[in-house]
Amino acid sequence: MNVTREKKLAALLVSHSVRLQKGESCLIEAIDLPVTMTEALIEAVYEAGGNPVVNVWSERIERAMVEGATEDSLKVWADVDSYRMKTVDAYIGIRGIANVRELASIPSQVALSSKLYNTPVHRDIRVPHTKWVVARFPTEIMAMQAGKSTREFEDFFYKVTTEVDYEDMARRFTEAKPFLDAVDKVRIIAPGTDLSFSVKGLGWIPCAGEMNIPDGEIYTAPVRTSVNGTIAYNCDSTYRGHKFSDVRFTFKDGKIVEAHADDDVLLTKILDSDEGARYVGEFALGVNPQVTEPMDNTLFDEKIRGSLHFTPGNAYDDCFNGNRSAVHWDLVQRQDAAVGGGEIWMDGVLVRKDGVFVHEALKVLNL
C-alpha cells in the first residue's frame, strides 16, 4: 500500500469532487477497501471540517443480502439507507473490485434489488440531493482485467486519477460547451453503426472530476423518441455480473427494437426490466488523455479518449429527457483508428473523426 498516494486520492475526492465544506456531513461507502484508504478518507473529511459517516461493505455481503432478499426485506433495507442518505450532505462511494462475477448467477435477484433498493436510495436520493462522487480503488482483479501486473496497474490508476489536471479539463469543457449546447441533430457512423438522433434543447453537462474519479466526459441525452438506426459497441461490459460482448442495438423512434450480444437471453432480460430500459438516457463523449484502452470497467472505459457511450436506461436529472428506469448501462464504443475508426456529425458537419475532434470549436477537447 502507498499511503501517500491514498491520501492524495482522498484529498481529491473530498476537496475537489464533493467540495466538502466545514460543518457538512459526508457518507463514505467503503466497498472491499483497505483500512488505510478508508482511514485516509476519514482524515480528509475531518481536515475539511466535515463530519464523516462510514459504511464498510463488500461484494460478498452484497451477494448475501441480495440472494435471499424478498420485496419486504429490500424495502426495509432501502428505507433505512434512504434515511441515512437524506441526512448527509455528500457521498463518496469507492469500490475495490474483488470479484466481478459475484452476482452473475442471480440475475433476477439483482434486477429486483436494483428496482427496490438502488432506485430509491441512489437514483432518487443520492444523485439529486447530495454532492456525490463514485470512484474505484486498484486491486489485483482490476489489474488482471486491464492486462497489467498489479504494480503496473497501481501506477496507471493513480496516473489517470490524481495526475489529471481537472481544472484545465473544466476550462476546456467551458470553451466547447456553447457550440455543443446549440446542436440539434447528431449522427454516429462507425463499423456496424449508423445512428441518428436529436439533442435539441437538452444541453451538455461537463464532467471534470466532480462525480467520477477518474473522469473526463461531457454528456447530454437524446430526445427520447428521436433515436433511429443501429449501433455496435466494441468494448466488453460487465453488467449485473455477466461480461457482455458484441452488444448491438437497432432503434426505431427511440426504442430498442432489436438487440444482440454474446447472450441474447440475458440481454433481453435487462432491456425488459421496465419500459425505460429500452430507451436511452445518456450520450457522452470521452476525453481523458490517460485512458486509451478498455479494461471492462465502466468507470474507466467510458472516459477513453476518442470514445463515446450511448446509454440505455435512466436519464440524469441535470439533463433529463423524460426517461426513467432502474437500468443505466454505459455501453462504450471506441472510435480511434486502431479499432476501425468512426465519425460524429453534428447538424450536418463532421466534428470528430477516428476519435480526434476536427471542428474548430471542439479541438480544445483533444486533451
CA atoms of 301 and 4, how far apart (whole Å) = 26
Give the type of residue at 183. V
CA atoms of 294 and 334, how far apart (whole Å) = 9
The CA distances from residue 345 to 182, 184, 228, 349, in Å, are 14, 11, 15, 5
CA atoms of 336 and 180, how far apart (whole Å) = 21
- Residue 86 grid coordinates: 437524506
Closest residue by Cα to residue 303 from 165, 236, 209: 209
- Residue 261 grid coordinates: 450480444
Count of other CB atoms within 10 angstroms of residue 22: 8
* pLDDT mean over 310-335: 97
Radius of gyration over every alpha carbon of the chain, rounded to an integer in angstroms = 20
Tens digits of per-residue pLDDT, 8-30?
Answer: 999 999 999 999 999 999 999 99
Closest residue by Cα to residue 259 from 243, 277, 274, 241: 277
Strands 212-213 and 131-136: parallel
pLDDT score for 2? 73
Tens digits of per-residue pLDDT, 28-44?
Answer: 999 999 999 999 999 99
Residue 31 DSSP one-character state: E
Tens digits of per-residue pLDDT, 288-299?
Answer: 999 999 999 999
Tens digits of per-residue pLDDT, 70-80?
Answer: 999 999 999 99
Count of other CB atoms within 10 angstroms of residue 253: 11
Domains in the chain and their CATH numbers? 3-162 (3.40.1830.10), 166-365 (no CATH)
CA atoms of 292 and 347, how far apart (whole Å) = 28
Residue 236: band (very low, low, confident or very high) from pLDDT cuts 50, 70, 90: very high
Tens digits of per-residue pLDDT, 150-197?
Answer: 999 999 999 989 988 999 999 999 999 999 999 999 999 999 999 999
* pLDDT mean over 202-206: 98
Give the type of residue at 130. T
Residue carrying the nine cell digits 479499432: 339
Closest residue by Cα to residue 348 from 173, 218, 183, 179: 183
CA atoms of 349 and 314, how far apart (whole Å) = 29
E strands, the chain, in order: 25-31, 51-57, 90-95, 131-136, 185-190, 193-198, 205-207, 212-213, 217-220, 228-232, 237-239, 242-244, 248-252, 255-260, 280-286, 307-312, 332-334, 343-346, 349-353, 356-357
Strands 193-198 and 228-232: antiparallel
What percentage of the chain reaches a pLDDT higher than 90? 96
CA atoms of 152 and 353, how far apart (whole Å) = 31
* pLDDT mean over 127-152: 94
CA atoms of 251 and 271, how far apart (whole Å) = 13
pLDDT at residue 198 tops 80: yes
Alpha helix ranges (H) inside the chain: 3-11, 35-47, 59-67, 71-87, 107-113, 127-129, 140-146, 150-162, 166-181, 264-271, 298-301
Count of other CB atoms within 10 angstroms of residue 72: 9
pLDDT at residue 140 tops 90: yes
Residue carrying the nine cell digits 473522469: 215
pLDDT at residue 1 tops 80: no
Yes or no: say if 311 and 305 are a contact pair by the CB < 8 Å rule: no
Residue 141: band (very low, low, confident or very high) from pLDDT cuts 50, 70, 90: very high
Residue carrying the nine cell digits 476536427: 358
**Length of the chain, in residues:** 367
pLDDT score for 254? 98
pLDDT score for 100? 87
Count of other CB atoms within 10 angstroms of residue 329: 22
